[in-house]
Structure 1
Amino acid sequence: MKLWSLKTNNFFQIIILALMLSASMICYCQNDNKNSNLPPKTFPIGLRVGLHNDFFSNTNENDFIELEYKDRLTFIAGFDVELFRTRQWLFTTGFFVKNISQSKSYNITADQLGRERGTNAEFIESPYWTYHLPVEALYRFNKSTKHPLYFKGGLELQHYGYTPGRYRHPFLSVNGIPRTIGEYEEYQSPFTFGANLGLAGDIYLNDNSKFRIALTGHYHFQTMEETFITTTNLAVPGATSKHEWTGHYINLSLTYFPKKGFIRF
């Protein structure tokens, strides 16, 4: 049975599809933004929640090792801050927190073990906290002041509670006998970077507060974590597989900005 995983290519295909759909919207909304009015101002800080999908990769030397790290869908929470805007541009920053647990599954057949029965399982490791600081520019491409639409892009700084170094120990033991050996390496810096690209749209309410819906694709410049698995005491010793926490993700978020002046300093 071949292992299945969502490849990074699919990640880029989703982003490209979203941009193509947006391009068609631009053709429909080719009004001169310079002659349009600014959307109403809101309180510059908004509360953000969202769904966050992290991507993992699995590269097996052959079909012998049936081991997979699975992509994970998690929740995020944080806030967005509007720093500065012109008629067409909006500059933002923010902060959000994500809690992720790594999900892994494996299968070892009876022939591989040299026993009457094989073994398989799926397990989840302890949660990993990551902290994200995006800095983005949003370009408004339609004229509506009540429903402005944006392309957005920027950079994101990420902090990961890491344990630096490389570790080697049994990944799986059956009846006290090591069957696979795992060699783990976490990225050596507590701060890593990536690039963001996406779409956003604002929906203003009657009191001029607003909701912002955003779809963000993130390409991470460094791998967060790598695992190399090598078989031992199995029918085919020495087979290897590589598994990575890529740091790439897709994020769908909703941010609420209260009306301007709801708090007066």
Structure 2
Amino acid sequence: MSVLARTVAALARIGWSWSVDELPDLVAAVGWVWRTPSEGTVSCRFDADPGNAGAFLFGAEVTALYLSLAERDEAAGPEAVLARRDGFRAAVDQVAELLGPPQARCPGPDPSAGWRVAAGMLEIVDRPGVLDLWLRPAPRRMPPPLVAPVADGTALAVGLAAAAASLPAGAVVTVLDARGGVRAELRQTDGTLTVTAGGDEMVLPWPAAGTAYRELAAGLANRWGDEAGELSYRSDLPVPHLPLPRA
């Protein structure tokens, strides 16, 4: 059993008061190696064999526990985004095998998936530099904000794939031709990405691996062909990684 599976299985069945006094017993129950935090510190780290784990403290309370699943380059380009989604999907699938489908879904640039457990909310969180498992007393209430698009000259298919993989729930992106006609529309919910183009509809369940976004984007790019240079997009907010001008 992987360290992720062992940790999830243990944390899912433990109910506790989030007291610092109970933290050593919790760490032992999960199978981590206890390291006494320095006096006055706001965080502490444990050995997770393999990997690193830790806790954030506020006075006599623990505000969060985490397990680092993968540390990686903080590159923000489209290729890095798609590689991150592969790891995120694999981690979500592992937890889902134990706890079922996630009850909390937060697509976006730094997506997360969460499961309600006895002590609060377990989350897989995909950030540029690290893939983490978190246990928090309560779920995050808001998805992360959109960031400005990355202008890196990447080919349309890769940029579009990364953009689709970064849409938050509720986002609607409309791709327009030079005359203002609609060539495609992308709609992200907390469970699916729906893409309509030329009368066809494609539905991608969330979370999806980077390869799935690549295939979807390649199909759209092939459909547009040489016309791609004349396309623009319309959305309430800028879309990260999409190498098209905003209409």
Higher relative contact order (CA closer than 8 Å, sequence separation 6+): 1
Task: Please identify the structure whose Cα radius of gyration is greater.
Answer: 1
| TM-score, with structure 1 as normaliser | 0.20
| TM-score, with structure 2 as normaliser | 0.21
Q: Which has the higher helix share?
A: 2
